[in-house]
Chains A and B, each alone.
Chain A
Amino acid sequence: MAAIITDNLVKRYAEVTAVNGVSLEIPEGEVFGLLGPNGAGKTTLISMLATLVRPTSGTALVAGRDIIKEPLEVRRNIGIVFQEPSVDDLLTARENLQLHSMLYGVPRREIAPRIEQFLKLVNLSDRADSLVKTYSGGMRRRLEIARGLIHGPKILFLDEPTLGLDPASRKAVWTHIRELKERHNTTIILTTHYMEEADSLADRIAIINQGRIIELDTPEALKRKVGQDLVFLKGEIDEAALRALPFVKTVERENSHYKISIEDSGANLHALLNAGGKITEVEVRRVTLDDVFLKFAGQQISEDADEKAEGMFERIAQHKAVRR
């Protein structure tokens, strides 16, 4: 059964369309990564799936329940870790987990043992009875993750779960996420800015921009779309000859060097260098998700930025004209 099915989800605010027709299907037990620039609609999409924001049109089934007709049933089956910490400062970690368990209807007898179990999972047992306002950012995050898990959700939404964490805490969070998937078959929807994070955790990745999903595939397949390897060449390069080679996917000029994406550099690099002309410098590396992201979302981002600035000035000008 699919954990999440969305059907043409749209959310319009007064000035912007945050989510513009998203149709997805996420199978149970998948770690699904949502990548996109700031303001691409990731958080709005998650908020709609978590029934916190009502869609303008379209709908979705989350854990088999309709987000508009049965929001409380949806909520019982999901856990959310918000972008900004939402743990209660004025309570201790234990009290936060207690409150959450009670609100989510965890059976009374199980509450105390589960709190112990999850405090241990996120390494907060020794600080369980200190007020959260004395916690560091990483500790809050970890508490928040424990809270998102304690009621045993089938689906977990993680909105930038490692934002602002130091590398060690980030690795710890990654380990938890992998364990969840492996041990509990939890479906995880993850938004992130860190390509490395998406690459190492996600089974599939959607790149979202301007409220639309522009690419959706496994990390490997996405990388293959860009080419397996990138070769950077400097010197007097024979562009036409490079393009003629069968294994070359794209050739782009960037400042003083050429960026060439090719298949299988191990087998083909020699041929490439022979055909390339007078080469003074060579650099070869694997394609990363950064390259994928820049290819699919990057260009559009810069176009957007121009458009928006123009729009804003136009709006101000219009506004002034009206006032006169």
Chain B
Amino acid sequence: MNFYAVYAILLREAKIFLREKERIVSILISPLLFLFVMGRGITGGHSPVAGFTYQQFIFPGIMAMVILFTSITYGLYIVWDKRLDFLKEVLAAPISRATLFFGKAMGGMLGALIETVILLVIGALFILPQTLLQVLLCLLAAFPVAYMITNLGLTIGARMKSMEGFGLVMSFLTWPLFFFSGALFDLQTAAPYIKAISLVDPVTYAVDLLRIIMLGQGYFTLWQDLGAIAAFCLATTLIGVSAFGKLQQEK
């Protein structure tokens, strides 16, 4: 692993994030609609967790959603890199595919972190004021969550041929991952098939972890959440590095 090269790639990604501010804003739109329209619009929508409103209850879920959307979109963006031929330059560089993969994954984490900070500020102002410790723990939790989902996006992006597949991935992967995670409801009272599917959804554990931090109560235990997230991080690293290993120059 060439950490200087990882840093070089991260630096490039950071510059692009700063230059393409509309990307950052556009990703926040759907989550904010859920938070402010659905969160306040559902009549009598009371929270499954005592002492919180429904809007406050879904806030951790919306934060997971922001990380999910940012990270997947970022990962799929390497299809765009392929089109722009920028990837060719990086593929030809004397760095291993694992180095390239980690550089890209760090870039995805950086993007997700920027979004998380923005959402935390909005949340603190309008929805759910938190202690400094809670804010720090949320940011800390965002790292592995963003990492595993970026990996997923990069893996799919590495195999995708064109940006046309983007819509398909959003419909068949991103939205289901979001809805089955229990971001908008309590898994305890959900239908059995939802519970069953949610167990294999990495976002479930992200939502739960964030709920434990922000609301003090979750569906699983803290260790179950951390364990599952660690396992997903490991698994997605393996499939991602392998997918990057197969990337060849396209004719």
Contacts and interface: CB of A to CB of B under 8 A. Distances in A.
B249 A52 contact: yes
B249 A103 contact: no
A87 interface: yes
A57 B198 CA distance: 47
Contacts of B19: 90
Interface string B69-104: 000000000000000111011111111100000000
B94 A102 contact: no
A104 interface: yes
B7 interface: yes
Interface in A46-82: 47, 50-54, 72-73, 75-76, 80, 82
B228 to A, nearest CB: 35
Nearest to B81: A88
A86 B88 contact: yes
Interface in B1-39: 2, 4-5, 7-9, 11-12, 15-16, 19-20
A144 B222 CA distance: 51
B224 interface: no
Given A52-B248, A53-B249, A103 B90 contact: yes
A108 B61 CA distance: 44
B217 to A, nearest CB: 44
A50 B5 CA distance: 19
A85 interface: yes
A47 B2 CA distance: 24
A261 to B, nearest CB: 38
Interface in B34-64: none
B95 A103 contact: yes
A73 B94 CA distance: 7
Contacts of B91: 52
A99 interface: yes
B12 A99 contact: yes
Contacts of B12: 88, 91, 95, 99
Contacts of B7: 102
A290 interface: no
Nearest to B84: A89
Given A50-B92, A82-B85, A90 B16 contact: yes
Contacts of A54: 248
Nearest to A102: B8
Contact of A52 (B8, B15, B92, B96): B92
A105 interface: yes
Contact of B93 (A44, A47, A90, A104): A104
Nearest to B89: A86
Contacts of B84: 86, 88-89
A100 interface: yes
Interface string A193-225: 000000000000000000000000000000000
A102 to B, nearest CB: 4
A84 interface: yes
Identify the interface centre among B4, B16, B84, B94: most chain A CB within 10 Å of its CB.
B94
A75 B15 contact: no
A53 B248 contact: yes
A77 to B, nearest CB: 9
A87 B84 CA distance: 8
Contacts of B95: 72, 103
A51 B93 CA distance: 10
Contacts of B9: 99, 103
A91 B90 contact: no
A147 B93 CA distance: 12
B5 A72 contact: no
A52 B92 CA distance: 6
Nearest to B248: A53
Contacts of A104: 93-94
B5 A86 contact: no
Nearest to B20: A90
A75 B94 contact: yes
A100 B5 CA distance: 9
A85 B85 contact: yes
A86 B86 contact: yes
A47 B248 CA distance: 10
A85 B112 CA distance: 30
A76 B92 CA distance: 10
Contact of B8 (A80, A82, A99): A99
A76 B2 CA distance: 13
Contacts of A53: 248-249
Contacts of B89: 86-88, 100, 147
A147 B92 CA distance: 12
Pick the 8 closest A-B CB pairs, nearest first. A102-B8, A75-B94, A86-B85, A103-B93, A52-B249, A76-B94, A86-B88, A86-B89
10 contacts: A53-B248, A53-B249, A72-B96, A84-B85, A85-B85, A88-B89, A89-B86, A90-B16, A103-B8, A103-B93
Given A72-B96, A100-B89, 18 more contacts: A43-B251, A47-B249, A50-B92, A51-B92, A52-B92, A72-B94, A75-B92, A75-B94, A84-B85, A86-B86, A89-B84, A89-B86, A90-B20, A91-B15, A100-B93, A102-B5, A104-B93, A105-B5
Interface of B: 2, 4-5, 7-9, 11-12, 15-16, 19-20, 84-86, 88-96, 248-249, 251
